[in-house]
Amino acid sequence: MRIKSVVKVMNFHSLLRVDSARKTAEKYFNYEKELTDFADNILNNRNLILDKKVLKLNKNKKPLNIYIGNDLGFCGNFNTNVNKQATEDVDADKIIIGKKISKEKQNILLSLTKEEYMQRNNEIEKILYKTINRSKNSEINIIYNHYYNISHIELLKKKLLPLDITTKKKDFYPEDYTVEGDINQILLNIIVLYLSYEIRVAVENSYASENVMRQTITNESLKKIDEIEQENIRQERKEKNKKSFKKVIENFIKLRNKGK
């Protein structure tokens, strides 16, 4: 069957990519934590907030959401869940990364394929810069299929800004800073760098999820195709045996009639 050959190729490509993508995603886990702690210690630092009056988002504005899907097929409900979330988020500005995420949404500021993202991520940075500099949004979120391990992938909506002050950490922002230059401009550049990296981490993580799903689904498809092929073989044998039996009966009847 031609379809089986196509699925085998998809399965093979996913198999080649999945281990590399998984290792990349796991490597980024630690980087992400370090970067988030770094941004947290600066953005929630009580001295900067009180003394320097640092940049803040506008609570009265709508959120900015970044949705990450994929560019390839054979991923089951990978894009369905992201699409559903984007449709439900009526009152939000949207950045879309992924060819298969529907563009028929409201308030889309930018739409890129995953492939285009690598060459055009500066366009996302410009939007983030304006969002923070002009307080255009209340918060910034990212929505994607998060890879935890090879058997655990789920849709995640993660708030990137503002970073929440946890009960555990609320008394641990005592550092003071000596600042030369415009503190808001310095912090703006740090925040955009932090957000850009978080998006890159999510894209890489989503890529791992995508390939795990593709491999799982193509494996299941190949099993189903094999089952269909085996059933077809059984039916062919059954028909062949039926015809052979019918022929034997016909010959038997002919011989019996001749004997009479």
In-domain check, residue 255:
no
pTM of the shown model: 0.72
In-domain check, residue 185:
yes
Contact 99, 71 (CB under 8 A): yes
Residue 177: domain span: 2-217
- Rounded distance, CA 71 to CA 99, Å? 5
- One digit per residue, the tens of pLDDT, for the chain of length 260 reads 565 665 555 554 555 566 676 677 677 767 777 777 777 777 777 666 655 555 677 889 999 999 998 877 655 577 888 888 998 998 999 999 988 787 777 889 999 998 899 899 999 999 999 998 888 999 999 999 887 776 778 889 999 988 776 544 555 566 666 667 677 787 788 888 889 888 988 888 888 777 777 666 555 555 665 666 677 777 777 777 777 767 767 666 676 666 65
In-domain check, residue 19:
yes
pLDDT of res. 115: 86
How many domains are there within the chain? 1
- Rounded distance, CA 115 to CA 44, Å? 35
In-domain check, residue 104:
yes
pLDDT of res. 139: 93
Task: Give the list of residues 6+ apart from residue 205 with CB closer than 8 angstroms, or none.
Answer: 25, 28, 144, 146, 147
In-domain check, residue 129:
yes
